[in-house]
């Protein structure tokens, strides 16, 4: 597990009190840490969102980023099962997803299902109103 994952912060377009009690955050950006062109990442995320729509119509956009905002990955908050999440994340060649339960943030490694507690989700959220 890359250490940079453990410092991720999240830019949300909504107030966090409107989030479900438990959910996952996943992306299709930069599969297996391969830095892709933005155009390819956006296309991959469009395909991911289309697949997520088969399981839920409640998808919230979120941006996972480094604390200095130099690296950003457009992502989605979804309330689907762990099994569905991991299956989809693996299909999009993701190394890990984020899992939030009762404001507790964890990284869940896709290949081993090992999880790494990271503290309170709310401590890593930057709320940004949609323009």
Q: What is the pLDDT of residues 33-83, one digit of tens each?
A: 999 999 999 999 999 999 999 999 999 999 999 999 999 999 999 999 999
Spatial separation of the C-alpha atoms in residues 75 and 61, rounded to whole Å? 6
From first CA to last CA, the distance across the chain in angstroms is: 35
Structural domain tally of the chain?
1
Answer positive or negative: Cα dihedral of 31, 37, 40, 42. positive
| pTM score | 0.93
Q: What span, in angstroms and rounded, lies between the C-alpha atoms of 11 and 32?
A: 22
Question: Can you give the residue range of the structural domain that contains 50?
Answer: 3-127
CA dist 55 and 14 (Å) reads 22
Q: What is the reported pLDDT for 131? A: 46
């Amino acid at each position: 597990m890359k250490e940079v994952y453990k410092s991720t912060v999240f830019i949300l377009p909504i107030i966090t009190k409107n989030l479900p009690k438990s959910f996952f955050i996943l992306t299709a950006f930069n599969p297996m840490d391969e830095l892709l062109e933005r155009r390819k990442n956006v296309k991959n995320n469009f395909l991911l969102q289309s697949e997520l729509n088969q399981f839920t119509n409640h998808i919230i956009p979120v941006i996972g980023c480094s604390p200095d905002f130099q690296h950003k990955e457009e992502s989605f908050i979804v309330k689907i099962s762990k099994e569905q999440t991991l299956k989809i994340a693996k299909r999009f060649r993701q190394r890990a997803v984020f899992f939030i339960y009762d404001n507790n943030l964890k990284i869940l490694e896709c290949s081993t299902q090992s999880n790494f507690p990271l503290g309170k989700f709310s401590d890593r959220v930057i709320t940004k109103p949609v323009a």
